[in-house]
Structure 1
């Protein structure tokens, strides 16, 4: 199995898109909050163990693969403020995407993201990075895309915490990374997980939810945890071709 990722040296196949390696603040986002630090770091001696304050006393990764119980997130990695070593075991996403990803044309869905090497279940693949935008800007962009009959890339991610729900809106249409080419599937082989390292705003990270074979397209369900809800479907036909396809792409009500 491949170890940790590599420096992000990917480029876009389209000249009108600016490549970014991680999220940037967009309209409607509080810049001070976006740049604020999430964690002061753990005090672990060299290697992090189960009682590490960053992992919230439950480890996230084993052999560089996310544990099944952590797929629903949120996940917190160690950062530069931590006393542990760089190979403490709780640093994965921050080392960059896998080096085996290729953007290629699909038969019906435009561009898609494929792997040229086998990816094992639980491995980190890449981020889904873009502009982090506010709720009103997200509504405006979705409506503009709909009127212009153009592809909508705005993604809504909900994190349900004990006392509140945190929503993050990300749009990689004009500023994005390799993850923007990952298509939807009603039977996906990857899952999007919110991961925090240095900041409050999460990085949205794709992890393999099953083994992915060489040459296979990487997909995730745009509906996230509401994947089985028939109440949040758009009027855009789904072309994933899976046996349990619900026929239309997911739609996240912005609220």
Structure 2
């Protein structure tokens, strides 16, 4: 069985072979959701005028903040992964070639992945081959919602429902905050199977290609051996470095808490949440994963 239905570069396998994950519509890219949210398929960014086969930061308008990738790996400063600056890839309006080094996320899956049944966490995702540190692994794609629709869907969930909605909040230097709500519950890609870990092997970076609606790209934060479960930190932190504080905050909130089964040494024991979303009078009365 191929979970992607042939829509990815490689078939996405399933284990056990005789079981099937819950049904959903597969889409490798974001799609516009209900409620009048932004259309992620609209091309709204200008392209570069580079005529070379591969763009250089010194001349390419898409690389205003510097080189994004080095040999397909997200750029590093020394041995540290640098994902603090905005990432813009060359797009359909650019004059550079399709082999430009600033085109990575838009090329889709580059490694073979498998959806598999875990012991305690439902379905998960693992890699079937070695993935070097810094390489792109997959997107977290789904319906792009506006704030109102995201709240409506969250409030309609029961305590037994899985919450796939993620809210990405980007803080700009002028003080503005841009929010993007993604829901792969009904329409999404292989990223919807990623489980949380307090010590993850992936981290998420908003990457813009054709529009200001970011692709939520997941990169390897270390070398990942074949057959490891792939995971990221639902709270949006690169490292879940303060589990004691998280536990203290969780104890102060009278809500149904979901236990974390990641097995990490620094496990916070419960899945991350945004405590401001649990106030009864707040529209966001349920957890939304936050970057």
Give the structure-2-normalised TM-score: 0.78
After superposition, the Cα gap between the structure-2 partners of 1:156 and 1:73, relative to the gap in structure 1 and judged at 3 Å, is: farther
Alpha-carbon separation, structure 2, partners of 1:36 and 1:66: 25
Alpha-carbon separation, structure 1, partners of 2:40 and 2:117: 35
**Runs ≥4 in structure 1, deviation > 6 angstroms?**
none
Alpha-carbon separation, structure 1, partners of 2:94 and 2:46: 7
Q: Secondary structure at the match of 1:172?
A: strand
> Which residue is equivalent to 1:61?
69
Alpha-carbon separation, structure 2, partners of 1:197 and 1:213: 29
* 1:109-139 deviations in Å (ceiling 9; x for gaps): 0111001101011000011101111112212
- Largest Rg, 1 or 2: 2
- Pairing of 1:220-231 with structure 2 (within 5 A): 220-225=232-237, 227=240, 228=242, 230=246
Is the aligned partner of 1:156 residue 2:167?
yes
Matched residue count: 248
Is the aligned partner of 1:111 residue 2:123?
yes
> Which residue is equivalent to 1:18?
25
> Which residue is equivalent to 1:198?
210
> Which residue is equivalent to 1:43?
49
Structure 1 residue 168, shift from structure 2 partner: 0.7
Are the counterparts in 2 of residues 38 and 196 from structure 1 also a CA contact under 8 Å? Answer: no
After superposition, the Cα gap between the structure-2 partners of 1:76 and 1:35, relative to the gap in structure 1 and judged at 3 Å, is: same
Q: Secondary structure at the match of 1:206?
A: strand
Alpha-carbon separation, structure 2, partners of 1:153 and 1:237: 16
Give the counterpart of 2:271 among 239, 249, 252: 249
> Which residue is equivalent to 2:95?
83
Give the structure-1-normalised TM-score: 0.89
Alpha-carbon separation, structure 2, partners of 1:149 and 1:109: 13
RMSD: 2.3
Alpha-carbon separation, structure 1, partners of 2:73 and 2:182: 25
Q: Secondary structure at the match of 2:207?
A: strand
Alpha-carbon separation, structure 2, partners of 1:129 and 1:159: 17
Alpha-carbon separation, structure 2, partners of 1:78 and 1:232: 42
After superposition, the Cα gap between the structure-2 partners of 1:72 and 1:183, relative to the gap in structure 1 and judged at 3 Å, is: farther
> Which residue is equivalent to 1:3?
none
Are the counterparts in 1 of residues 10 and 112 from structure 2 also a CA contact under 8 Å? Answer: no
Alpha-carbon separation, structure 2, partners of 1:60 and 1:158: 21
Q: Which moved more, 1:50-59 or 1:85-94?
A: 50-59
Structure 1 residue 91, shift from structure 2 partner: 0.3
Is the aligned partner of 1:187 residue 2:204?
no
Relative contact order: is structure 1 or structure 2 higher (C-alpha 8 Å, sep ≥ 6)?
A: 1
Alpha-carbon separation, structure 1, partners of 2:249 and 2:42: 33
* 1:129-183 deviations in Å (ceiling 9; x for gaps): 01111112212222222x3421111111111111211111111111111111111
Runs of 5+ in structure 1 lacking a partner?
Answer: 1-5
Structure 1 residue 104, shift from structure 2 partner: 0.5
Alpha-carbon separation, structure 2, partners of 1:43 and 1:167: 30
Q: Secondary structure at the match of 1:187?
A: coil
After superposition, the Cα gap between the structure-2 partners of 1:29 and 1:193, relative to the gap in structure 1 and judged at 3 Å, is: farther
